[in-house]
Chain A
Amino acid sequence: MALVKINQLKVRQGAFELSIPELRIEAGQILGVMGKSGAGKTTFLHALMGFLPIVSGEIEVRGQSVGNLSTEKRGIALMFQKPWLFEHQTVIENVGFGLAIQGIPKEARLVQARDWLKKMQIADLEERKAWEVSGGQAQRVALARAMAVGFPVLLLDEPFSAVEAPLRKDLRKLVRDLIQESQKAAIVVSHDWRDLEELAAHIMVLDRGKIIANETPQNLKTHPDLQIRSICES
C-alpha cells in the first residue's frame, strides 16, 4: 500500500497554480522533486505541509486524508537546507523535541534520542549546545530530529546544499539507508541532480506548476525531451 497518495491536487498562490493529478510513494521509497526556479517546488512543499491551503484534491498519509488538517497533525516531518536547531537546547534535547511534544517520559525519550545520535554517528555531541556544533554535525542533528519523531513521511528541502562535498556523500548514503530501514516515505526537493540520482527511486520534474516527467533517474538521463534533460543536467 502507498504511504503517501495525492489525487487531483490543486494549489493556488497568487496567479500561480500548481496541479498534481496523481502521485504515490511507497514505504521505504524516496521521491525526488526537481524543477527550475518558479516551477512550483516550494508551493508543492508548502501545500504538503499545510502552510498553503489546497484548492481541491486529496493528500493521504497512511490512508488518512490530511489535506484539511493543521500541519502538526499531518505526520510529515520537515527538514530544511539550514538545520534550524533550537539554539537554547542541547543536541540531545533537539533530537528528543518531537518526542517531548508527544508527551513521552524523559527517560524513554533520552534512550530513543541516544539511539538516533548513534545511528547518525554523533553520539559524542549529546551534551553540546546546538550552536556549538559544526554545519555538517548540525545537519545530522536535524536529520535525527526529523527521524526520531516517528512520523511516516519525511520532507527534505534542499537538505545537502549547505554541506561540503565529502560530507554530502556520507549524508546521502545515511538518508537512503535510514529511509529503507525505517520503511518511511521521503520527498526530497533539490536542484542538485547528483543528490536525487543517488537517493530517489523516482524523480518528479515540475515546470510552471505541472508535472512534465515522473521517471527513474536512469530514464530521465536518456529522456527524449531536451527540456527535461536540460533541467536534470543543470
Chain B
Amino acid sequence: MDTDYEQKITMNWILTLPILVFMVSFFVLPIGNLFLLSSSVVTENIFQDPYFNHVLRFTYLQAAYSAFLSVGFGFVAAFLIKEWRIFGGNLLWSLGLLFSSLPSIVVALGLLGSWGPSIGFGWTGILIGHLFLNFGIPMRLIGVALQDRNRTPELLANSLGMNKRRVFFKITLPQLKSSLMASWILSFLYSSTSLFIVMFLGGGPRFTTLEVLLYEAVKLNLNTPKAIQIASLQALIGGLLFLCYYRMQKRRVQEGQQPRVNLFLMEKNWVRVSVSLVFWIITFSVLGIPLVFILKDAVWDWSSNFTSSLLHATASSLKIGLCVVVLGNCILYPFLHYIYREKGNLLRSGSVWLVILPQFFSGAVVAFALSVFYPSLRGNDEWGILGVVLTQTLFAIPLMYFALNEGFERMAQERFWIAQSLGANRWQRFFHVELPGMRRPLLLSMLIGFGFSLGEVVSLLLFAPAHLQTLSLTLFQAMSRYRFQEAHAATGVLLVMIVILFLIMGSLEEKDGSGQN
C-alpha cells in the first residue's frame, strides 16, 4: 500500500507540475515583477500628466459605454432568442460566437470599409467595433442563464395574479443579476484592453486608450518606465475585475425537472414576425454590413502578386498555431486529467483560477511583462518565436480549458468504474475509455487555440524576429502603411481559415450534443 501511495503522489506531481511551472514562470513572476518595478524603476509620476489622465478617463469611459451597449444588445438578443424564439435565433446564437472569434484587426478593417472614415472614426467606430466583437459574450451568458433559470416561481406568481411585466421585473430579472454583472465585467474588460479597434478607429490622440499608449511606449517611444507604469495599472485593474468576476461565479444548478411552460413566449405570430424583422434589420445594418464588406473587399482586391507572400505567411501562422495548441494541450490535459480522474480536489479551485487568470489581462500587458522579465526573448531571432508561442499559449490555455473541461465534466465516473471492474488498469482506462471519449473536446480545444493564434498580433509585434511574417502581422503592417489592397487580401485568407475552423467547431458541438446516451 505504501508503494501504491508513493506512486500516486509521484504521478500527481508529474501531472500537475507542468502547468504550475508554466503559469508561475511565464505569468505570475513576470506580472509580479512588473508591480515590483513600478515602485522602484519609475522616476516620474504619470498621473501628473494631463494627457495621461485624459487617456485614463477615456479608456474606462469608452469601456463602460461599450459594455452597456454590448450587454443591452446581448440581453435583448438572448431574450428574443430564448423566450420569444424569434426567427433565425439559432443563426444569431452561432454568429455571436463567430463574431467574438474574429481578430479585432479584421473587424476594424471591415468597419472602416463599410462605414467610411467619417462615421467609422471616433466614438461611433469604437463603440460599434466593441459591440461587434463583444455582444456574443453577454448574449450567450444571459441566454444560458435564461434557459437554466427556475421557472416555477414565475408560474406561481402569475397564477396568483401578478402580471407578466411585474413577474419579469420582480422574479425573472433578479435571477439574471449575476449573469448580467458577469457579462458586463467581461465586456468592460475586453473593451478597456482592446488595442486595434481603438488604434485604427480612434482616429487620433483624443481617442487613445491605455492599451494604445502602452503599445506606443513599448514599440514607438521605447519608454520602458512609462510602459511599466501603464502595464502595472492595467494589470491591477484586470486583477480587480477578475476578483469581481470570481464573486459572480456562484454556480446555480436547478435540481429536478423544470416546468416547460414559457410565460414570456409571444403567442401573436404577427408580433413575433415583425419583431424578428426589425431586430434582424438592426443587426444586419450594424453588424452584418461590415462582415459583407470584409468579404467583398477580400475578393475584389485579390491580386496574384500577394499569392507567394501570403502563402509564406499562412505557413508561418500554421506552424505557430500548431506549436501553441500542442504546448497548450501538453500542459493543460494532464492537469485536467489529474483533477477529474485522480480526484485532485484540494488543488482544484486554486489552480483552475490560476489557469484562466491570463484572460483578465491584456495581451500587451502580459507580452510586455514577459519581455521585461525575460529580456532575451525580445529582439532575438532564435528566442523571439518562443516569446510569441509562450504569450499565445498563455492566452490560448483559458480558451482551450473551457472545451476540455466540458469534455471531462461530461464523462461519467461510472464508465471508469465499469472498465476498472472489467480488469482495466490505470493506463488501459486512459487509452480505452478516457482518450476515445475526449477525442472531440480535444479537437475542439485545438481548433479554439488555433483560431486564437491565427488572429493574435500583439505578441508578434513585441517578439517576432524580422524574418517572421504571419497572416495577422501582414494585415497589421499593411493597414499601418495604408496598403489596403494587401490588407484585404490577407483578411480574405484569414477569414476563410477562421470560417472553416468555425464550421468544424459547429459540427463538433452538434455531434457532441447528439452523441450522449
The chain A residues found within 8 Å of chain B, CB to CB, are 49, 51, 68, 70-74, 76-80, 82, 84-89, 97-98, 100-102, 130-131, 138, 142, 145-146, 149, 151, 155
Contacts and interface: CB of A to CB of B under 8 A. Distances in A.
Contacts of A70: 4, 420, 425
Interface in B414-437: 414-415, 417-425, 428, 432-433, 436-437
Interface string B122-144: 00000000000000000000000
Contact of A86 (B421, B423, B433): B433
A87 B517 CA distance: 8
B261 interface: no
B437 A101 contact: no
Contact of B517 (A72, A98, A100, A138): A138
B515 A49 contact: no
Nearest to B517: A131
Contact of B439 (A51, A85, A88, A98): A88
Given A49-B417, A131-B515, A131-B517, A145 B422 contact: yes
B412 interface: yes
Interface in B381-439: 412, 414-415, 417-425, 428, 432-433, 436-437, 439
B418 A80 contact: yes
Contacts of B425: 70, 72
B424 A86 contact: no
B423 A98 contact: yes
B466 interface: no
Nearest to A148: B422
B220 interface: no
B1 interface: yes
Interface residues of B, number: 23
Contacts, number: 75
B418 A88 contact: no
Contacts of B418: 78-80, 84, 142, 145
Given A97-B422, A101-B424, 8 more contacts: A72-B424, A78-B417, A80-B418, A86-B419, A87-B437, A98-B423, A100-B432, A155-B421
Given A86-B432, A97-B432, A101-B428, A72 B414 contact: no
Closest 10 CB pairs of A and B: A98-B422, A78-B421, A88-B436, A71-B420, A131-B517, A101-B423, A84-B414, A84-B415, A101-B424, A72-B423
Contact of B422 (A68, A80, A101): A101
A184 to B, nearest CB: 14
Interface string B484-517: 0000000000000000000000000000000111
A54 B414 CA distance: 21
A142 B417 CA distance: 13
A21 to B, nearest CB: 25
A204 B435 CA distance: 39
25 contacts: A70-B4, A72-B421, A72-B423, A74-B421, A78-B417, A84-B412, A86-B433, A86-B436, A88-B437, A97-B419, A97-B432, A98-B423, A100-B432, A101-B419, A101-B422, A101-B423, A101-B428, A101-B432, A142-B418, A145-B418, A145-B422, A146-B421, A149-B422, A151-B423, A155-B421
Contacts of A100: 432
B343 to A, nearest CB: 11
A102 B423 contact: yes
A146 B417 CA distance: 12
A85 B433 CA distance: 10
Contacts of A86: 415, 419, 432-433, 436
A72 B420 contact: yes
Given A68-B1, A86-B433, A131-B515, A77 B421 contact: yes
B444 to A, nearest CB: 16
Of A72, A77, A138, A142, which is in contact with the most chain B CB atoms at under 10 Å from its CB? A72
B417 A71 contact: yes
A155 B417 CA distance: 12
B109 to A, nearest CB: 43
Contacts of A80: 414, 418
A73 B515 CA distance: 32
Given A84-B412, A138-B517, A71 B432 contact: no
A98 B421 CA distance: 9
Contacts of A74: 421
Contacts of A138: 517
Contacts of A88: 436-437, 439
A22 B313 CA distance: 74
A217 B515 CA distance: 41
B413 to A, nearest CB: 9
Contacts of B420: 49, 70-72
A45 to B, nearest CB: 10
Of B419, B421, B436, B517, which is in contact with the most chain A CB atoms at under 10 Å from its CB? B421
Contacts of B423: 72-73, 98, 101-102, 149, 151
Contacts of B433: 86
Contacts of A97: 419, 422, 424, 432
B5 to A, nearest CB: 11
Contacts of A130: 517
Interface string B1-33: 100100000000000000000000000000000
A130 B437 CA distance: 13
Contacts of B421: 49, 71-72, 74, 76-78, 146, 155
